Amino acid sequence: MASSTLSWPRLNQTQRRNITGYLFITPWLLGLLTFTLVPIAVVFVLGFTRYGVLDTPEWVGLRNYVRIFTDDRYFRISLVNTLYYVAISVPLHVIIGFLLALGLNAKIRGITIYRTLFYVPSIVPQVAGVLLFVWLFQPQIGLFNFLLDLVGVRGPNWLGRPEWAKPAIIIMSLWGVGGGMIIFLAGLQSIPEHLYEAAKIDGANNWNQFWTVTVPMMTPTIFFNLVMGLINSFQVFTTAYVATNGGPMNSTLFYMLYLYTTGFQDFKMGYASALAWILFFLVLVLTVLVFKSSASWVYYESGGEG
């Protein structure tokens, strides 16, 4: 034990560091409390109430949840629609984004122009993009059906038919695949060249190199895009709200659309809170599962930093 005269300045420095540190992060801490932690607690409680904004919340116990799971057609429809959307669009985004990045990683002339052409659609404002696609999908004079006509296919009434509306919304989202593609490209470019050289010395051809070097080294990036894709697709809203408003015949009634309608058009805040909590729980469980599974397929280099 050092004498108090010696240890005091030391302690002071640590304390001072702590105080400065917490002062610096105060804005975020306050934000975390008011915009995240308290809301999560509140939404949980509100889920057990009947609450119409103007009146006071009335405690109804588990009634909201019982109704959601036993007697709510729209909950089931929106959940199935959302699972359909997630199950198809997330893998497509990962696969197409990865393949494009592979192609765009080649050292050929004019490659930056190609990269730009694939990336730019992903920065087009979403609502503007949706209006554009509503026009492209127009059944009689839309460009897509004209292009299909050129190859002898009669294009469907994309957004007007229940069986085509969801694929149309997925195609819309795939136009923005450039965002994920750029992340894959950054991942590809961070693979050290010497790994490929070592593989070549071992006699690996391009195909072998792809499976023994590229894919393992890219698993962290695939994992990242997969997780973010899952979380975002579960909350798909703007495309369907603007393009079809849930129709035709509820075929694009996604979970967030149903939640929005319940909370902000029917003003059933208690019921909508229960819906929000279910979505949160679902996404949480799936994210945890993907994280758990990552141990068996995501390859991290030893000595990981940051």
Partner 1 sequence: MSTITQVKRGIAPNIAWLRRQSVRRTLGKFSLYIVLAIAAALFSIPLVWMLSTSLKTLYQQDAWPPVWIPNPLEWRNYPDAFGFLPLGRYTLNTLFITAVTMVGTFISCPLVAYAFARIRFAGREFLFMALIATIMLPQAVRLIPTYLMFDRLGWLNTYLPLIVPSFFGTPFFIFLLRQYFRTFPEDLADAARVDGLGELGILTRIFLPLAGPALAVVAIFSFQSHWNDFFGPLIYLNREQMRTLALGLYYFKAFEGTTNWGQMMAAASTMTIPVLILFALFQRHFIQGVALTGIKG
Q: What is the DSSP letter of 268?
A: -
Q: Please identify, using beta-carbon distances, which residue of 88 and 124 lies nearer to partner 1.
A: 124
Kindly report the number of other CB atoms within 10 A of residue 273's CB atom: 24
Query: Rounded to 5 degrees, what angle do the CA atoms 187, 191, 192 make?
Result: 155
Q: Please identify, using beta-carbon distances, which residue of 12 and 36 lies nearer to partner 1.
A: 36
Q: Please identify, using beta-carbon distances, which residue of 6 and 141 lies nearer to partner 1.
A: 141
CB of 6 to partner 1, least distance (A): 21
Q: Please identify, using beta-carbon distances, which residue of 233 and 250 lies nearer to partner 1.
A: 233
Q: Please identify, using beta-carbon distances, which residue of 3 and 39 lies nearer to partner 1.
A: 39
Which tokens hold the place of 113? 């122009």
Q: What is the DSSP letter of 152?
A: T
Which tokens hold the place of 150? 């050129």
Q: Please identify, using beta-carbon distances, which residue of 123 and 249 lies nearer to partner 1.
A: 123
Q: Please identify, using beta-carbon distances, which residue of 41 and 62 lies nearer to partner 1.
A: 41
CB of 249 to partner 1, least distance (A): 19
CB of 178 to partner 1, least distance (A): 8
CB of 150 to partner 1, least distance (A): 9
CB of 37 to partner 1, least distance (A): 9
Name residue 45's amino acid.
V
Nearest in space to 186 (alpha carbons), one of 89, 269, 261, 119: 119
Name residue 159's amino acid.
L
CB of 4 to partner 1, least distance (A): 22
CB of 255 to partner 1, least distance (A): 8
Which tokens hold the place of 225? 């895009």
Nearest in space to 126 (alpha carbons), one of 43, 239, 244, 37: 239
In this structure, the dihedral spanned by the alpha carbons of residues 63, 69, 73 and 76, taken in order and rounded to 10 degrees, is: 140
Per DSSP, what are the bridge partners of residue 59?
49
Q: Count of alpha carbons within 13 Å of 240, Cβ hemisphere only?
A: 30
Q: Where in the chain does DSSP place strands (E)?
A: 49-50, 58-59
* Distance in angstroms (rounded) separating the CA atoms of residues 168 and 84: 13
Q: Please identify, using beta-carbon distances, which residue of 62 and 127 lies nearer to partner 1.
A: 127
From residue 165, give the alpha-carbon distance in Å to each of 42, 160, 247, 251: 36, 7, 8, 7
CB of 166 to partner 1, least distance (A): 19
Place of tokens 């306050």: 30
